[in-house]
Amino acid sequence: SFAFLRIHLHGFVSLDLQSCEGCDQEQNSVEKLLRKVEGRMKDLFQNGIKLVKSLPALMRGESVDRYLATADGRIMEYDFDEVLYDENSPYQNIKVLHSKQYGNILILDGDVNLAESDLSYTQAIMGSGREDYTGKEVLILGGGDGGILCELVKLKPKMVIMILNIDQMVLDCCRKYMRKTCGDVLDNLKGDCYQVLVEDCIPLLKRYAEEGRTFDYVINDLTAIPISTSPEEDSTWEFLRRILDLSMKVLKPDGKYFTQGNGGNLTEALAQYEEQLGRLHCPVEFSKETVCVPSYLELWVFYTVWKKSKQ
């Protein structure tokens, strides 16, 4: 065990204790030691201490890394207990970790994508139960976990086209480890009322637009909006603008476009996205709602966009 005591000029005192834990008895010993240190500090400084705060231990070097960051940069500790899948595709790192609380969680490049507990996400990006998909034509962009497709086919649509956007390994992984989310819809790439296409969505959207093919609903589950407007994010913003414009071109005049936004705390990024909605080739209107997604450990914003009616 190692202890680091730091005394700062402005009166802040920190004590970091690093210990190699081997059993619950050792953990209890550390907690008792910290309580004794806290009591001794109070005795030494008498009434001179404004606040004493003990933080939970950070667990390092375990077989399963339990720490992930929220969209706004806060570190969250999960109850992961097993790594079910961890592979690198040509495009990204793909993990499925098991959580005691949330079930299996799909994590792409370190970001939580979806957990088996996150039906609220799927429902929100489909319109929160307000839409009638019976006999409708729907285009899904992304959605590799299969959750949206699984819920849609229950609602008797005429046809659902899902463009996975090139990473076949995500689909293969979810087919095996996210079955509580996707059911059996990913077992085959084509069903009675759906078809899954593994290809780049932009050329396909362009082709649909040129052919005049339109949809009642476009559901974009490709990526969250960027969290900054720095130069390295320009390509992501440009990608989102192109997807928005092309989606409007294949959306019927009375159709609706659904997409995720980002975490509720990222107000500047959300405002930037709403500004982009005013720059499309056709005028649009939008609404948004904030939903609690369990495994995200934060509130998440979802958008509904539609073409502005001509008066």
Go through the chain and tell me how many residues it has. Answer: 311
Computed on alpha carbons and rounded to an integer, the radius of gyration of the chain in Å comes to: 24
The CA distances from residue 301 to 19, 126, 143, 285, in Å, are 40, 13, 17, 16
Please say if 216 is a catalytic residue: no
Cβ count within 10 A of residue 221: 25
Pairing verdict, β 103-108 and 93-99: antiparallel
Distance (Å, rounded) from C-alpha 255 to C-alpha 103?
A: 35
- Any long-range contacts for 200-203 (C-beta under 8 Å, 24+ apart)? 200/165, 200/166, 201/141, 201/142, 201/163, 201/165, 201/243, 202/242, 202/243, 202/246
The residue annotated as part of the active site, out of 221, 234, 245, 254, is 221
Q: Please state, as a whole number, how many other Cβ atoms lie within 10 Å of the Cβ of residue 61.
A: 7
Catalytic residues, by residue number, are: 221
